[in-house]
């Protein structure tokens, strides 16, 4: 009965929101626009200053025709934004009410191995049970969480959210938006094809198609971006992009890229300068078979200015600086990514997970890893447990010191990275195109 009431209430809220939207919406239903909504903020149940305690219940949500999602954390897609500050201990109680096992993986966070949410040598969290994830946050940045069991299906079904770790030294801006991107695909069938090989029809921002963010002019707004799509790449553009952060918090210095490329799993922090003109955030059509594909850029979010006014304030960020570490020249571990869409077979070093050879690094050592992409498709390389520094791509060092946990290899790329193996465990190493990982493009890097 209580559930029914909650549902009726939710339906009423939904209907009343809908009413408001009709004021601004265009007549064609597919083109309807509405105000940007932000994912709910997770409620911190702890009274201790350095402990953040959050409860997440994973459950089924009503999936009527045309509704994309089946699963949710606390009834919401995206799931609640978890917010903490550097040095906090985070405790997340996961209640599994899905009807099947699940886990939570803390993408980009250097957690102890038992908290990593993988099912390599560990059982997933059974339906009807709870598990408490507990770890200390030593990094700063925009991270995300998602299941790591039957991953492709569960992430596609709507299980994901953002984890923001703040640094009190970072300046405040006029507003901050968490923007969680997911792609929608041409096939109506909610599951089965998982967006694999299907054309992206549109993107959703925080669950909505083409939302409108309304703002006063003269403001600087920080956006925390994450691409949670199983397969879709974003190549985001808007007027005067200022990128301040990437996977692992602030960049060494302010960057002014012409666009921000976000592969599945990638994050970026950027500033929107909202001045005198409306603008759209668009994505170029990007193909994982090599750069730009044919097709018009797609609008994914509108920014509408209320009282146009030039931006006069400047914010100075405590960028950490830092120079690129010179490549030591030797290679300790080599991973060759191979396979093709034609065969649907994906390999690392000719192997398919879980039939793999485990590479081992002694705890505390620094190693050079080289990854070669021998396939005719791009792959976002992702490592659990530790972030890494990019030494070079095809022999060319990056323009600034890049610390990443997810980094895209274009076709034929040779990526070299430096890893300080300071976190003991069996760390999953895989492509973050989830169908590729699911087909076996995953291995284990052991630190002991
Ligand atoms: Cu976000 Cu192993 O993944
Ligand atoms: Cu891949």
The count of other CB atoms within 10 Å of the CB of residue 385 is 25
- Of 80, 94, 84, the C-alpha closest to 50 is 84
pLDDT value for 315: 82
Q: Hey, which residues does 183 pair with through a beta bridge?
A: 203
pLDDT value for 185: 82
**If residue 42 lies in a helix (H) or strand (E), which one and from where to where?**
none
**If residue 5 lies in a helix (H) or strand (E), which one and from where to where?**
helix 2-24
pLDDT value for 288: 86
Does residue 105's CB lie within 6 angstroms of at least one atom of ligand 1?
A: yes
pLDDT value for 23: 35
CA of residue 424 to ligand 2 center, whole Å:
26
Q: Hey, which residues does 165 pair with through a beta bridge?
A: 84, 141
Does residue 436's CB lie within 6 angstroms of at least one atom of ligand 1?
A: no
Cα–Cα distance measured from residue 303 to residue 306, given in angstroms and rounded to the nearest whole number: 10
pLDDT value for 67: 64
Cα–Cα distance measured from residue 373 to residue 338, given in angstroms and rounded to the nearest whole number: 6
Does residue 153's CB lie within 6 angstroms of at least one atom of ligand 1?
A: no
CA of residue 441 to ligand 2 center, whole Å:
7
Within 8 A by CB and 6+ apart from 90, the residues are 52, 54, 82, 84, 133, 134, 135, 136, 137, 163
Does residue 267's CB lie within 6 angstroms of at least one atom of ligand 1?
A: no
Does residue 107's CB lie within 6 angstroms of at least one atom of ligand 1?
A: yes
Within 8 A by CB and 6+ apart from 76, the residues are 39, 40
Record the tokens describing residue 234, joined without a space: 């974003």
Dihedral, CA atoms, 239, 36, 84, 97, nearest 10 degrees? -140
Cα–Cα distance measured from residue 412 to residue 416, given in angstroms and rounded to the nearest whole number: 13
Does residue 222's CB lie within 6 angstroms of at least one atom of ligand 1?
A: no
Q: Whose CA is nearest to atom 1 of ligand 1?
A: 107
Distances (CA, A) of 144 to 49, 118, 159, 224, 353: 23, 15, 11, 11, 24
Do the Cβ atoms of 298 and 330 come closer than 8 Å? Answer: no
Along the 448 residues of the chain, how does pLDDT read in single tens digits? 444 444 444 444 343 333 333 333 333 344 456 999 999 999 999 999 999 999 999 999 987 555 677 999 999 999 999 999 999 999 999 999 999 999 999 999 999 999 999 999 999 999 999 999 999 999 999 999 999 999 999 999 999 999 999 999 999 999 999 999 999 887 654 443 444 556 888 999 999 999 999 999 999 999 999 999 999 999 999 999 999 999 999 999 999 999 999 999 999 999 999 999 999 999 999 988 888 888 899 999 999 999 999 999 888 899 999 999 999 999 999 999 999 988 889 999 999 999 999 999 999 999 999 999 999 999 999 999 999 999 999 999 999 999 999 999 999 999 999 999 999 999 999 999 999 999 999 999 999 9
For residue 229, the ligand closest to its alpha carbon is 1
* DSSP conformation class of 74: T
Does residue 265's CB lie within 6 angstroms of at least one atom of ligand 1?
A: yes
pLDDT value for 190: 44
Record the tokens describing residue 420, joined without a space: 């300080």
Q: Are strands 366-373 and 333-340 parallel, antiparallel or unpaired?
A: parallel
- Entry pTM: 0.90
- Of 184, 206, 173, the C-alpha closest to 81 is 206
Q: What are the φ/ψ torsions at residue 21 (nearest 5 degrees)?
A: -60, -35
For residue 440, the ligand closest to its alpha carbon is 2
pLDDT value for 133: 98
Do the Cβ atoms of 34 and 211 come closer than 8 Å? Answer: yes
CA of residue 201 to ligand 1 center, whole Å:
25
For residue 144, the ligand closest to its alpha carbon is 1
* CA 367 remoteness from chain centre: 26
Q: Are strands 366-373 and 82-85 parallel, antiparallel or unpaired?
A: unpaired
- Of 293, 321, 313, the C-alpha closest to 173 is 313
């Amino acid at each position: 009965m209580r559930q029914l009431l909650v549902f009726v209430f939710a339906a009423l809220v939904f209907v009343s929101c809908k009413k408001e939207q009709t004021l601004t919406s265009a007549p064609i239903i597919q083109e309807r626009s509405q105000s940007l909504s932000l994912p709910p903020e997770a409620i911190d149940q702890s009274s201790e200053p350095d402990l953040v305690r959050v409860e997440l219940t994973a459950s089924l949500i009503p999936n009527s025709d045309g509704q994309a999602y089946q699963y949710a954390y606390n009834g919401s897609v995206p799931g609640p934004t978890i917010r903490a500050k550097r040095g906090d201990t985070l405790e997340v109680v996961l209640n599994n009410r899905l009807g099947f096992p699940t886990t939570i993986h803390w993408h980009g966070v250097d957690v102890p191995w038992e908290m990593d949410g993988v099912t390599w040598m560990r059982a997933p969290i059974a339906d009807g049970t709870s598990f408490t994830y507990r770890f200390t946050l030593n990094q700063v940045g925009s991270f995300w969480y998602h299941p790591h069991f039957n991953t492709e299906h569960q992430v596609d079904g709507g299980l994901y959210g953002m984890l923001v770790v703040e640094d009190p030294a970072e300046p405040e801006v006029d507003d901050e938006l968490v923007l969680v991107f997911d792609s929608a695909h041409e096939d109506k069938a909610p599951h089965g094809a998982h967006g694999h090989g299907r054309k992206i029809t549109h993107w959703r921002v925080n669950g909505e198609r083409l939302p409108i963010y309304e703002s006063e002019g003269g403001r600087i707004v920080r956006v925390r971006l994450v691409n949670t799509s199983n397969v879709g790449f974003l190549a985001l553009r808007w007027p005067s992009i200022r990128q301040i952060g990437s996977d692992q918090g602030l960049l060494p210095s302010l960057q002014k890229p012409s666009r921000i490329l976000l592969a599945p799993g990638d994050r970026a922090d950027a500033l929107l300068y909202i001045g005198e003109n409306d603008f759209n955030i668009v994505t170029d059509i990007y193909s994982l078979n090599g750069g730009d594909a044919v097709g018009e850029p797609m609008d994914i979010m509108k920014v509408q200015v209320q009282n146009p006014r030039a931006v006069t304030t400047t914010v100075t960020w405590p960028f950490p600086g830092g120079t690129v570490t010179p490549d030591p020249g030797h290679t300790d571990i080599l991973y060759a990514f191979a396979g093709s869409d034609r065969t649907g077979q994906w390999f690392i070093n000719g192997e398919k997970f879980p039939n793999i050879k485990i590479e081992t690094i002694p705890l505390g050592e620094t190693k050079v890893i080289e990854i070669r992409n021998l396939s005719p498709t791009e792959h976002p390389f992702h490592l659990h447990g530790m972030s890494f520094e990019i030494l070079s791509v095809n022999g060319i060092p990056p323009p600034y010191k890049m610390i990443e946990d997810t980094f895209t290899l274009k076709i034929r790329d040779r990526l070299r990275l430096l890893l300080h193996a300071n976190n003991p465990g069996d760390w999953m190493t895989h492509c973050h195109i989830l169908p590729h990982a699911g087909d076996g493009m995953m291995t284990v890097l052991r630190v002991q």
